Each structure stands twice: as C-alpha cells, then as structure tokens.
Amino acid sequence: MVGTGMGAERGILIRKGEAIQTMKEVKAIILDKTGTLTKGKPEVTDIIPLGGNPNDENTVLYYAASVEQGSEHPLGKAIVNKAKEMGIKLDKPKMFKAIKGMGVKSYVNNAEVIVGKPSLLGSNDLDAEVEKALKRLQEEAKTVMIVAVNRRLIGLIAVADTLKDDTVDAIKELESMGLKTVMLTGDNRKTAEAIAKQIGISDVYAEVMPDEKVEVVKKAQAKYGMVAMVGDGINDAPAITQANVGVAIGTGTDIAIEAGDVILVRGDLSSLVTAVKLSKATFRKIKQNLFWAFFYNTIAIPIAILGLLHPVIAELCMAISSVSVVTNANLLRRAKIHPPIFKVIL
C-alpha cells in the first residue's frame, strides 16, 4: 500500500499488484521508439526533389501532403503541417489506401501517388544518387520517405522526431542498474541504429511491422528472461500484454493504457526508472517485515508451548510485531527511488 501510494504521488499508477513484484525481476526493457523514446511530434527536415531543382520542392510536398491528408500516422501529419506552413494548397485524395507498415497510396488529380518506405518501389528503381541521399539522411537518424507519382520517383522527404528531454539520462540509468534496453521501431535499420547509438540503447529491432511486435517481445523473453514492454500506441497494446510487465505511456492511446500493468502518467522515462527502483525498495521492506513477523513467533511460540510465556507478554509481543511492521513499511517513504538528475522533472 505504501509503495503504490508513493508511485501515485510520482505519476506512476500501478494497476495490478503483481506488477510491482515482477518489475524487480525484469532483466530487459523493450521501448517503442515513437512517442516513448521520442516526443511523438515529428517534423519535416529535408525535401529533396529529383534533378536538384529547388523549385520542385513544392511539387514533391504538394503530392505527399495531399495523400497524407487521409492518414492518421504522426509522420503523415508532419508532412501535412509542413505543407500548410508553406502555404501550399492541397487537393483531396481519392481511393486512399494505407499499406500496412509501409506507407500510403492514393490518387491526386488522377495521378497515382505513393508515399512511404523506399522498398515500396523496389531497390532496383533507386539509382546511385538516390541511394547516396538515403544513406546520408538515415545516418543522421532521420526517417526517409519516397514520393512517387505514377510509379516514377519525384523526390524524398525526411522527417525527424525529437528525443524526450530525459531519454538519454533514463537509458543510462537503466543500463547502470544492470538492465538491458531494447529499442523497437519500424524505421530502416541504419536510421534505427543511428538513433540507438545517440541514446545509448543496447539492442535494436528495426523494420518491425505493427503485427510483429508481439514476436519481438517473445524473442526478447527467450533471450533475456523477464522483460517489460513500454509503449504508447494502438499497435503496442498486444506487445504490452505479452510482456511480463506492460508499461503504458499515460499520454498515449486509451487501448495501450488499458493494456498496461503500470501507467506512466506524465509520459517521461524518468518515471520508468523510478518504477523499477520503487519495486526493488518495496520488496526489500516486504522481506524485512516478514523477518520481524516471524522473528517474534519463532522465539515466543516454543516458550509458550513450554508454559513459560505469560499471556500478557504474548499479547505485548503481538502488538510490538504489528507496530514494527507498520512502522517499517512507512520508512519506505524515505527510500531514494530516483537519482538527482531527475529531481527537477519529478
């Protein structure tokens, strides 16, 4: 009760009692990238039209944003917002289709437009110049999307999502506690590895389709043992349920929150560090309380059997046992469950 109360005071809601016990046994923590490690508000950073004519940037953005008006994906919204900022008038897409985990396709002014991963067009359709640009952008930890009109590549759009303020420090702290950190993302492997290197993540699962996240959790469980999954999106919910401890970002979707055993209300990763430390501190107190509860009984019961223990003394021992357990439990409030670097955030 004291442990869950302390968690609530710090923006950590523990929905299931066993979660606080299991958390201390976790060996690895899997973190979805978008909205968990990052702020989930990506912005367009580069628009590269083929042929190098800067005047064609508006054309590339026009087609991409017109199609993405039908998408709910954060990357699509970033493209639409960029077009609005630049004052580009968009047309309504027709026959919109989301290609699962890959991109979107639609018709704009009777032209077929595809926006998404480079693999949508096939590697054979990308020349050396395009490959060079892709590699450069991906090494800068940016997500790159191709824009094709009538199956002809007309440009590239790069989008970057800013890391949360406490992400790097939180990952460093988790690693120092002996936990393996794993990043889960649908991004290209080069982009994913660049981001992981920037953050300090141990292991990376890249180019993961939404329906493959559960399999990734199972692989991590086979590799590391007990794992926690941290996510915020609809597609994260099954993986959160599969994990030994499901942790949902409170600023995410309702489905993810419903699936979580632990909810990080404010959405900051420093709360995850606090949750792990709280779990360990709580169970240290539980073990101490069990010791004191059995200590009195182990000594007093044999003496009582021999008829050498006065009933008043027996009652006093029981009272002392109860008082010591309650007092010790409340001493948990003094436990240091977050490092100094997070005091400002908390």
User: CA 62 to CA 90: how far, in whole Å?
Assistant: 6
The answer to whether the beta carbons of residues 44 and 70 sit under 8 Å apart is no
pLDDT value of position 55: 62
Q: What is the model's pLDDT at position 341?
A: 44
- Predicted confidence at residue 244, as pLDDT, reads 94
Q: Are 160 and 166 in contact (CB under 8 A)?
A: no
pLDDT of the residue at 346: 43
Q: Which two tokens stand for residue 265?
A: 């209300």
Share of the chain above pLDDT 90, in %: 36
- CA-to-CA distance for 160 and 281, rounded, in angstroms? 38
Instruction: Over range 230-254, report the average pLDDT.
Output: 89
Q: Is the pLDDT of residue 344 over 60?
A: no
pLDDT at 215 over 90: yes
pLDDT of residue 298: 79
Q: What is the pLDDT of residue 340?
A: 46
Is pLDDT of 312 > 60? yes
pLDDT digits (tens, 9 = 90+) for 314-334: 778 777 777 877 887 777 777
pTM greater than 0.85 (yes/no): no
- Annotated catalytic residues are 32
Phi, psi angles (nearest 5°) of residue 289: -65, -40
Strand partners, 28: 180, 227
Degrees (nearest 5) of the Cα angle 247, 248, 252?
Answer: 165
Q: Which helix (H) or strand (E) holds 114?
A: strand 111-116
* Average confidence (pLDDT) over 256-277: 89
Nearest-angstrom CA–CA distance, 266 and 254: 14
Q: What is the pLDDT of residues 45-92, one digit of tens each?
A: 999 998 666 668 999 999 999 999 988 788 889 999 999 999 999 999
Average pLDDT over residues 20-34: 90
pLDDT, mean of residues 6-22: 84
Q: How many residues does the chain have?
A: 346
Q: Which of 19-33, 190-204, 263-277, 328-342 has the lowest mean pLDDT?
A: 328-342
pLDDT value at 125 more than 70: no
